[in-house]
Amino acid sequence: MSASLALDALTKTFDGADHAAVDAVSFSVAPGECLAILGPSGSGKSTVLRSIAGLDVPSSGRILVDGADVAGLAPERRGMAMVFQRPLLFPHLSVLDNVAFAATVAGQPRREARADATQFLELVQLAGFGSRPVTALSGGQEQRVALARALAARPRVLLLDEPFSALDPELRSDMHALLAAIRAQVAPTVVMVTHDRDEAAIVADRVALLKRGRLLQHDAVERLYTRPVSLDVSRLMGGRIELAGVVRDGAHVSAIGRVAAPEGETWAEGSGVLVVRQEAIQVAAAGASAPEGFVAVDVVVADRRARGPRAELALAISGAGSVVEAATDQATDALADASPAAELVAEVPASRPLAIGERATALIPRSACTVVAG
Amino acid sequence: MAMMIPYGQRVTPDPRTTRSRGLMRPRPVGRIVRIAVAALLALWFALPVVPLLIWSVANRWSFPATLPTEWGLDGLSQALAQGAVPAFGRSILLGLAVAAIATPLGALAARALTFGRVPAPRLVSAILLAPLALPAFVAVMGLTIVLLRARVPATLAVLLLLVAAALPYTVYTMRVAYAAHDIAFEEEARTLGASRAHVLARVHLPLVAPGLARAAFLAFLVGWSDYVVTVLVGGGSLVTLPLLVGSFAAGVGNDAVVAVLSVSAIVPPLLLLLALGRFGRRYAGGRLTGPTPSRSPKGSP
């Protein structure tokens, strides 16, 4: 039932709009893979999904399912099933008949369609709910039924348009677990639109990050976090640390000193911004020496913000002076621009008594660093 | 005629809402006033029907007497003799025909207007609602000449004019229905493999059915209760129940037969209204389209 999906320079400009809502987006999804299309509001991610479903007609570009172009194919003949943010259960049908909808319109006898639907209700852990009216369901149950109804259509590609964003956090994580269980059982190809990068990270194998209709990066989830290809990607993924500097002889020189590229990677020479996830930064006692593979930076706690069980620290770089002496002239110029903002961010358990003004050492793992164009 | 029947949503909030919301909590004085006003309204509606009902089973009812001086079914037999049954049938057919044409037309116009596929939508809405503003007499006098010159058969001409008169009601009712209708249901159905025809039959029509029923009811009433158009354009060739009532009411001493005819004229709309109240609701409880295979969690169909 799973198919591969490929987008080739998909572009959609709405009537009267002066720029494209989706601008030459290309990516591919392997059979059984789950791709999350991630992006802020208005990034065109829903338009991409609606184009795949055939509900919007792209201005140009191709959509290939198992290598065949689906242009001009009506939505009902594409073999896609869509789950929207709202469950959209047909109110005139029972839960079971909602799930049996695809089989019924495909011409199956009612009895068989219902028997089939029963299996899918079991798959979403709602066995026994079939005879209920859809108005008797809770929000989470409604979305489960919507998912069962989509799966019962045996879609070649399952399309999810922010399906869980209207649910409360607990229900949402239940749904994530359910989706993982479904993927393990029936391995559908899934394309899911979300604005929540945590959700994308939990649910998806790969992520296509969109901004203003353009594809910024299509990559495995952890690479989006650790190896963003641009500052935009780093920022959209919630990256907080940006250190302007220069790459020279394979190492980046900035306010935190020389950082050599991780093994097997090379950074483009010239000016560049070093980005590293705040979650990767460890905070040690002042004067601690760097273990193998880490860069140690003397810092002063400049600010501390409560983040529930964790605390977010802004760390002013205090050892910058000594680094600058060692740096080249070019790097010094770059530093002169960057130094006022040169600051690290780290997260520590809320129980750590690091107060504002306290000195500490930030340990930055080299493997977590990457350099992007400024 | 009822101008608008609220669509879909419950008009009176349920008791839980009223109790929990301070502004909606009934006040004792307001309650007494409300009950009094409601009673007066009920009286105002019911009072004209009482003498009508009595007259329909009275042969003689002279002025000072409180009750008829002679009971009997002369009115009924006279009505039957004067062709009340065929007239009743013709009125039903006329009402149904008007509803059958004006309802789908109104629905199409309303859907196009609601989902924005109409150029100059305000102008189009205004034109569609215009028959309400125009006195029926004016329009009919003008159109009679046109239709007669065009040699349109009288019955067809009556039907055409009544459909035009019913359109404002069906368009308005269906616009309200489509405003509450979520097109995403239809998109969802398409992605699940339903063709356009399937979407229409299995999703679109069931979802707007209550609105269609209301629109059809109003259109039926236009045909059922019309007098002016049937008289002027039909020219007496199409004798409907209102025409019969009118001709008897114009004479003297026909109170009994007029009462019988009038009472019978109330029955079909009343039955339809009751049916509408029973079936025209919007899936409040949800219902099944047939027997479910199994109610037990583990049972297999």
Reported as a single tens digit per residue, the pLDDT across B182-240 is 999 999 999 999 999 999 999 999 999 999 999 999 999 999 999 988 988 888 888 99
* Strand bridging mode A189-194 / A157-161: parallel
Within 8 A by CB and 6+ apart from A316, the residues are: A299, A300, A301, A302, A343
Same domain membership, residue B133 and residue B22: no
Same domain membership, residue B208 and residue B140: yes
Provide the token pair at A11. 């572009």
- As a whole number of Å, the end-to-end CA separation of chain A is 44
Q: What is the pLDDT of residue A288?
A: 86
Q: How far, in Å, CA of A211 to CA of B196, rounded? A: 34
Q: What is the pLDDT of residue B129?
A: 86
Same domain membership, residue B97 and residue B28: no
Residue B183 lies in a domain: yes
Residue B260 lies in a domain: no
Q: How far, in Å, CA of B73 to CA of B94, rounded? A: 28
* Placement of tokens 């679109």 in the chain: B204
Q: How far, in Å, CA of A371 to CA of A262, rounded? A: 11
Would you say the C-alpha torsion A91, A94, A98, A103 has a positive or negative sign? negative
Q: Average pLDDT per run of 10 along chain A, which is 374 residues long? A: 90 90 94 95 92 94 94 91 94 94 94 94 92 91 94 94 90 92 92 93 94 94 93 93 91 90 90 93 90 90 91 82 45 49 85 90 93 88
From the list A76, A93, A134, the residue facing B194 with the nearest CB is A76
Instruction: Indicate whether B108 pLDDT > 70.
Output: yes
Helix, coil or strand: residue A125: coil
Q: Which of A124, A84, A144, A32 lies closest to B189 in space, CA to CA?
A: A84
Provide the token pair at A35. 């791709």
Q: Taking the model in full, what pTM does it have?
A: 0.81
Beta bridge partners of A157: A80, A189
Name the minimum distance, in Å, from the CA of B239 to any CA of chain A.
42
From the list A76, A86, A114, the residue facing B195 with the nearest CB is A76
Instruction: Indicate whether B256 pLDDT > 90.
Output: no
Residue B215 lies in a domain: yes
Residue B250 lies in a domain: no
Same domain membership, residue B212 and residue B129: yes
Residue B74 lies in a domain: no
Same domain membership, residue B190 and residue B97: yes
Name the band, by pLDDT with cuts 50, 70 and 90, for residue B5: very low
Q: What is the pLDDT of residue B132?
A: 83
SS3 assignment for chain B: CCCCCCCCCCCCCCHHHHHHCHHHCCCHHHHHHHHHHHHHHHHHHHCCHHHHHHHHCEEECCCCCCCCCEECCHHHHHHHHCCHHHHHHHHHHHHHHHHHHHHHHHHHHHHHHHCCCCCCHHHHHHHHHHHHHCCHHHHHHHHHHHHHHCCCCHHHHHHHHHHHHHHHHHHHHHHHHHHCCCHHHHHHHHHCCCCHHHHHHHHHHHHHHHHHHHHHHHHHHHHHHCCHHHHHCCCCCCCCHHHHHHHHHHCCCCHHHHHHHHHHHHHHHHHHHHHHHHHCCCCCCCCCCCCCCCCCCCCCC
Q: pLDDT tens digits for B114-128?
A: 988 889 989 998 888
Q: What is the pLDDT of residue B2?
A: 38
CB contact under 8 A, B202 and A97: no
From the list A102, A114, A128, the residue facing B192 with the nearest CB is A102
Name the band, by pLDDT with cuts 50, 70 and 90, for residue B51: confident
Domain count, chain B: 2
- CA of B198: which chain A residue's CA is closest? A105
Name the band, by pLDDT with cuts 50, 70 and 90, for residue B282: low
Helix %, strand %, coil % for chain A, to 5? 30, 35, 35
Beta bridge partners of A295: A364
Interface-testing mutation among B183, B192, B292, with chain A (most A C-beta atoms within 10 A): B192
Provide the token pair at A224. 């989006």
Residue B246 lies in a domain: no
Name the band, by pLDDT with cuts 50, 70 and 90, for residue B65: confident
Q: What is the pLDDT of residue A313?
A: 92
| DSSP state at residue A289 | P
CA A32 centroid distance within chain: 18
| Burial (CB count within 10 angstroms: exposed 0-12, middle 13-18, buried 19+), residue B107 | buried
Q: What is the pLDDT of residue B290?
A: 37
Distances (CA, A) of A110 to A97, A107, B55, B196: 9, 9, 55, 20
Q: How far, in Å, CA of B228 to CA of B139, rounded? A: 11
Instruction: Indicate whether B62 pLDDT > 60.
Output: yes
Same domain membership, residue B40 and residue B152: no
Q: What is the pLDDT of residue A333?
A: 52
| Average pLDDT rounded to a whole number, residues B165-177 | 94
Instruction: Indicate whether B99 pLDDT > 70.
Output: yes
Provide the token pair at A275. 């980005």
Q: What is the pLDDT of residue B10?
A: 46
- Percentage of the residues of chain B whose pLDDT score is greater than 90: 41
CA A164 centroid distance within chain: 14
Provide the token pair at A92. 């005139």
Name the band, by pLDDT with cuts 50, 70 and 90, for residue B100: very high
Same domain membership, residue B30 and residue B129: no
Same domain membership, residue B120 and residue B226: yes
Q: What is the pLDDT of residue B13?
A: 56
Name the band, by pLDDT with cuts 50, 70 and 90, for residue B138: confident
Name the minimum distance, in Å, from the CA of B16 to any CA of chain A.
18
Question: Which residues on chain A are in Cβ contact (under 8 Å) with B195?
Answer: 74, 76, 105
Same domain membership, residue B33 and residue B91: no
Provide the token pair at A91. 């109110």
Query: A309 or B7: which carries more pLDDT confidence?
Result: A309
Domain hosting B27: range is 13-45
Helix, coil or strand: residue A73: coil
Q: What is the pLDDT of residue A1?
A: 63
Within 8 A by CB and 6+ apart from A133, the residues are: A94, A95, B283, B285, B286, B287, B288
Read off φ and ψ for residue A306, nearest 5 degrees. -75, 135
Same domain membership, residue B37 and residue B92: no
A267 touches B at CB < 8 Å: no
Q: Which residues of A174-208 are buried (b: 16+ CB within 10 A; e: fewer)?
A: bbeebbeebbeeeebbbbbbbbebebbbbbbebbb
Q: What is the pLDDT of residue B255?
A: 84
Instruction: Indicate whether B144 pLDDT > 90.
Output: no
From the list A86, A105, A111, the residue facing B202 with the nearest CB is A105
Same domain membership, residue B97 and residue B198: yes
| Burial (CB count within 10 angstroms: exposed 0-12, middle 13-18, buried 19+), residue A262 | middle
Same domain membership, residue B93 and residue B26: no
Instruction: Indicate whether B26 pLDDT > 80.
Output: no
Q: What is the pLDDT of residue B18?
A: 63
Would you say the C-alpha torsion B270, B275, B277, B281 has a positive or negative sign? negative
Q: How far, in Å, CA of B208 to CA of B182, rounded? A: 10
Q: Which of A347, A338, A346, A301 lies closest to A320 in space, CA to CA?
A: A338
Q: What is the pLDDT of residue B291?
A: 36
Report yes or no: A267 and A247 within 8 Å, Cβ to Cβ. Answer: yes
- Predicted-complex ipTM score: 0.84
CATH of the domain at B101: 1.10.3720.10
Residue B158 lies in a domain: yes
Stated as kind and residue range, the H or E segment containing A276 is: strand A270-276
Beta bridge partners of A348: A311
Name the minimum distance, in Å, from the CA of B172 to any CA of chain A.
24
Provide the token pair at A176. 């994530």
Would you say the C-alpha torsion B233, B238, B242, B248 has a positive or negative sign? positive
Name the band, by pLDDT with cuts 50, 70 and 90, for residue B59: confident
Interface-testing mutation among A57, A76, A121, A132, with chain B (most B C-beta atoms within 10 A): A76
Residue B66 lies in a domain: no
